[in-house]
């Protein structure tokens, strides 16, 4: 049994397939497994809560894990040790989530492209057809993550409290979420995964896309992301497309395309969930 995992800070999707890529059980979902913000004990607990994974752990021969927060050696090592302690018969490979986005969005294995993730967090890399190159080291949701779910969640909460929302939007937002200050601060400062908590608010934007306020908010984040991340590859952008993965990107395709036209880069493919494209990649040589 081969496990292929696509993990963000909010959730992790697990696919179990055989050597030919045939699905062995329904997709399993656990909470997010970000080793940059979770301890080894919390990571272990989140995986172990799945009855399906627990009952099949001894059958697993390979685990190919792609995750948010796996961009440093220390984080990858931490998560690999947790996975090895659970799937004791398996060979474990841990990579950053950007590589999953690359494999699922490029049109052929040797295609060069700039590849972006806009999900709970955000990231951007250049793939030269063989290797991944990053010019900015992510410092996480507190300092970076422009145009991500947690970025937009933060902006929405700020606009609500600073009275910068149109009144009808403000009323709808306050009706959908618990906007009590103590509740918000409890989730931000006393609960694990505050970035995932913030990202939960982002869905609201896409339910209000007939509002000029919402469209401007979406575009503001995309412009920030493009300026700070995509334009790091200004020379490469002259010849390669920019592919996007993640739910925020998928639902903001129109706004991304408009900003790309403004800033002079070519938009390529959009993929909401990278995991499905990883199956043929990992089974063809087994």
The SS3 of residue 95 is strand
Compute the average pLDDT of residues 147-154: 98
Q: Give dist(CA 168, CA 211) in Å, integer.
A: 10
Say if CB 46 and CB 33 are below 8 A apart: yes
Q: What is residue 284's predicted lDDT score, i.e. its pLDDT? A: 66
Show me where the domains of the chain are located: 2-100+275-283
Superfamily designation of domain 2-100+275-283:
ATPase, nucleotide binding domain (3.30.420.40)
Q: How far is CA 166 from the centre of its chain?
A: 30
The residues that bridge with 91 in the sheet, in sequence order, are 62
In percent, the amount of the chain with pLDDT more than 90 equals: 81
Give the predicted TM-score (pTM) of the model.
0.80
Sign of the four-CA dihedral 14, 71, 263, 103: negative
In percent, the amount of the chain with pLDDT more than 70 equals: 99
pLDDT (tens digit, 9 = 90+) per residue, 35-87? 998 999 999 999 999 999 999 999 999 999 999 889 889 999 999 999 999 99
Q: Which residues contact 185 (CB under 8 A, 6 or more apart)?
A: none
pLDDT (tens digit, 9 = 90+) per residue, 161-170? 999 999 999 9
Compute the average pLDDT of residues 249-278: 93
Q: Using the predicted structure, report yes or no on whether residue 286 has a pLDDT greater than 70.
A: no
Q: Give dist(CA 111, CA 128) in Å, integer.
A: 7
Sign of the four-CA dihedral 16, 251, 140, 180: negative
Calculate the average pLDDT of the chain: 94
| Selected residue with higher pLDDT from 276 and 25 | 25
∠ CA 195-201-203, rounded to 5°: 120
pLDDT (tens digit, 9 = 90+) per residue, 176-207? 999 999 999 999 999 988 999 999 999 999 99
Compute the average pLDDT of residues 256-272: 96
The SS3 of residue 2 is strand
* Residue 235 banded pLDDT, cuts 50, 70, 90: very high
């Amino acid at each position: 049994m081969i496990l292929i995992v696509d993990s963000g800070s909010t959730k992790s999707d697990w696919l179990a397939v055989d050597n030919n890529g045939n699905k062995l059980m329904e997709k399993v979902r656990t909470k997010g497994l970000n080793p940059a913000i979770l301890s080894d004990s919390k990571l272990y607990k989140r995986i172990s809560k799945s009855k399906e994974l627990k009952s099949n752990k001894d059958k697993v021969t390979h685990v190919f894990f792609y995750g948010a927060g796996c961009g440093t050696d220390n984080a990858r090592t931490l998560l690999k040790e947790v996975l090895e302690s659970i799937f004791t018969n398996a060979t474990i490979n841990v990579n950053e989530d950007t590589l999953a986005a690359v494999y699922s969005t490029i049109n052929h294995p040797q295609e060069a492209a700039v590849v972006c993730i806009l999900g709970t967090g955000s990231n951007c890399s250049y793939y030269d057809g063989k290797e991944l190159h990053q010019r900015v080291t992510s410092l996480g949701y507190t300092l970076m993550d422009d145009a991500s779910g947690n970025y937009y969640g933060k902006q929405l909460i700020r606009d609500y409290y600073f009275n910068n929302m149109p009144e009808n939007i403000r009323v709808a937002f306050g009706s959908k979420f618990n906007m009590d200050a103590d509740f918000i601060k409890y989730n931000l400062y006393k609960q694990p995964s505050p970035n995932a908590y913030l990202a939960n608010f982002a869905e609201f934007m896409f339910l209000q896309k007939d509002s000029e306020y919402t469209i401007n908010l979406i575009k503001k984040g995309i412009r920030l992301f493009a300026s700070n991340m995509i334009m790091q590859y200004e020379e490469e952008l002259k010849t390669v497309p920019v592919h996007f993965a993640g739910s925020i990107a998928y639902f903001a395709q129109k706004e991304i395309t408009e900003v790309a036209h403004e800033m002079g880069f070519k938009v390529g493919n959009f993929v909401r969930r990278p995991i499905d494209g990883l199956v043929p990649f990992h089974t063809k040589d087994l």
